[in-house]
Structure 1
Amino acid sequence: MADGRFVIQRHHATSLHFDVRLEIDGVLVSWAVPKGPSTDPAQRRLARRVDDHALSHIDVEGRLGTGTVIVWDTGTYDLRTEGTAADALANGHLTVALHGVKLAGGYAFIRTGGDAWLLIKTKDKDADPGRDPARDENASVLTGRTNDDYV
Structure 2
Amino acid sequence: MALNEYRRKRDFKKTPEPDSGETSGEALLFVVQKHHASRLHYDFRLELNGVLKSWAVPKGPSLNPEDKRLAVEVEDHPFDYKDFEGIIPEGNYGAGTVIVWDQGSYEALEGGTKKEMEKRLSEQWKDGSMKFRLKGKKLKGEFALVRMKGNEDNAWLLIKHNDRFATAKEIITRDKSVVSGKTLEQVAGTKRTPGRIRKSDPPRKTEKKKIRIA
User: What is aligned with 1:78?
Assistant: 107
CA separation of 1:139/1:26 partners in 2, compared to 1, >3 Å: closer, same or farther? same
Report deviation, 1:84: 1.3
Match of 1:23 among 25, 47, 60: 47
Return the structure number with greater strand share.
1
Q: Match of 2:148, SS?
A: strand
TM-score (norm 2): 0.67
TM-score (norm 1): 0.94
Report the Cα distance in structure 2 between the residues aligned to 1:60 and 1:26, rounded to whole angstroms.
17
Report the Cα distance in structure 2 between the residues aligned to 1:147 and 1:124, rounded to whole angstroms.
30
Report the Cα distance in structure 1 between the residues aligned to 2:156 and 2:125, rounded to whole angstroms.
11
Q: Match of 1:90, SS?
A: helix
Report deviation, 1:64: 1.1
User: What is aligned with 1:140?
Assistant: 177
What's the CA shift string for 1:95-127, capped at 9, x where partnerless? Answer: 110000001001100000300000000000000
5+ residue gaps, structure 1: none
RMSD (Å) for aligned C-alpha atoms: 1.6
Report deviation, 1:150: 2.3
Q: Match of 1:84, SS?
A: helix
Alpha carbons 1:28, 1:54 under 8 Å: kept: yes
Match of 1:58 among 82, 92, 106: 82
Report deviation, 1:29: 0.3
Alpha carbons 1:60, 1:69 under 8 Å: kept: yes
Report the Cα distance in structure 2 between the residues aligned to 1:49 and 1:79, rounded to whole angstroms.
19
Report the Cα distance in structure 1 between the residues aligned to 2:144 and 2:43, rounded to whole angstroms.
15
Identity across matched positions, percent: 42
Report deviation, 1:87: 0.5
Report the Cα distance in structure 2 between the residues aligned to 1:133 and 1:120, rounded to whole angstroms.
14
Which has the higher mean CA deviation after the structures are superposed, 27-36 or 77-86?
77-86
User: What is aligned with 1:44?
Assistant: 68
Q: Which amino acid aligns with 1:147?
A: L
Report the Cα distance in structure 2 between the residues aligned to 1:126 and 1:64, rounded to whole angstroms.
34
Q: Which amino acid aligns with 1:7?
A: V
Report deviation, 1:2: 6.7
5+ residue gaps, structure 2: 1-24, 90-94, 111-116, 189-214
Report the Cα distance in structure 1 between the residues aligned to 2:76 and 2:170, rounded to whole angstroms.
27
Report the Cα distance in structure 2 between the residues aligned to 1:139 and 1:115, rounded to whole angstroms.
29
Structure (1 or 2) with the larger CA radius of gyration: 2
The size of the alignment, in residue pairs, is: 149
